[in-house]
Amino acid sequence: MRHVRVALVAAASLCCARGGVAGSIPVPDHIVIVMEENHGYAEIIGSKNAPYINSLAAAGALFTKSYAVTHPSQPNYLELFSGSNQGVTDDSCPHTFYTKNEESQLRAQGLTFKGFSEELPAKGSEVCTSGEYARKHVPWTNFSDDPGKYSRPFTNFPGDYAKLPTISWVIPDLLDDMHDGSIAKGDTWLETNLSGYVSWAQSNNSLLIVTWDEDDGREGNHIPTIFVGPMVKTGQYSEKINHYNVLRTMEAIYGLRPLGNAASVKPIKDVWQ
């Protein structure tokens, strides 16, 4: 684990992002965002049960005052994806919304999006549950302008990372996202399935974002959020952010109009090389 951390830190010192002026927002060729579940900052950061996630935090930007917007899970996913909970305040399913969202914005700009969900039973499936898959954690399936071909099982996550879309969401299943499984199980899943991408990203202008939907109700919704990539300045950042800031940052990167409540917050600008 130590050699992985050292390699990431060394690579992070070299900025390969376009337009890399300190304080400006670079343009990664790809962003992969992973959403974990129901654990607060103090449960993850510094935990011996999450060595890989803590190695990512040490190699990238760790936000020490990152917060989810609300409880329970589903509204937070919708807020990070569309700037609004779309009137949903519970984990009910199914829903259909007709508003703009991150995916529709990207496609309108000629950019690309895919969602990769562990245990999704079939490409484009809109089932509410299947095994350990839960649609409440897969926000793009709720929007009318989501072509099903862009909603994929995680087994379709490309081995050739150069084939990744502009933005990918990765949703582990309920056992591997720490919802029903342990912190250690979620940490191991992340290392097993994404460490290859993380290593590749360091020399290929790609950004990983790891965040949580919400805490477990004991930390005031204080959650870990980590950015890792060659365009990121290693360190801890103490500005207060939430899901809307993360969405606003992705929109600013690709020149997209802020959605919903993301318009009322600022993009993150201080973490870039």
Unique residue bearing structure tokens 């929007």: 143
Residue 188 predicted with pLDDT over 60:
yes
Length of the chain: 273
Contact 248, 239 (CB under 8 A): no
The pLDDT, as a whole number, for residue 12 is 40
The pLDDT value recorded for residue 80 is 98
**Nearest C-alpha neighbor of 117 from the set 138, 91, 147:** 138
pLDDT tens digits for range 146-171? 889 999 999 999 999 999 999 999 99
What's the pLDDT score for residue 135?
A: 98
Strand duo 222-228 + 206-212: pairing? antiparallel
Per-residue exposure over 85-104, b if at least 16 CB sit within 10 Å of its own CB, e if not = bbebeeeebebebeebbbbb
* CA dist., res. 5 & res. 2, Å (int): 5
What domains lie within the chain, and their CATH numbers?
2-16+28-264 (3.40.720.10)
| pLDDT tens profile 97-118 | 999 999 999 999 999 999 999 9
Query: What are 50's two structure tokens?
Result: 């999450």
pLDDT of 202 strictly over 60: yes
Which of 10-24, 49-63, 81-95 has the lowest average pLDDT? Answer: 10-24
Q: What is the pLDDT of residue 40?
A: 98
Within 13 A of 163's CA, how many CA atoms are on the CB side? 5
**pLDDT tens digits, residue range 27-66?**
999 999 999 999 999 999 999 999 999 999 999 999 999 9
Q: Is it true that the peptide bond before 121 is cis, omega within 30 degrees of 0?
A: no
Residue 18 is predicted with a pLDDT of: 35
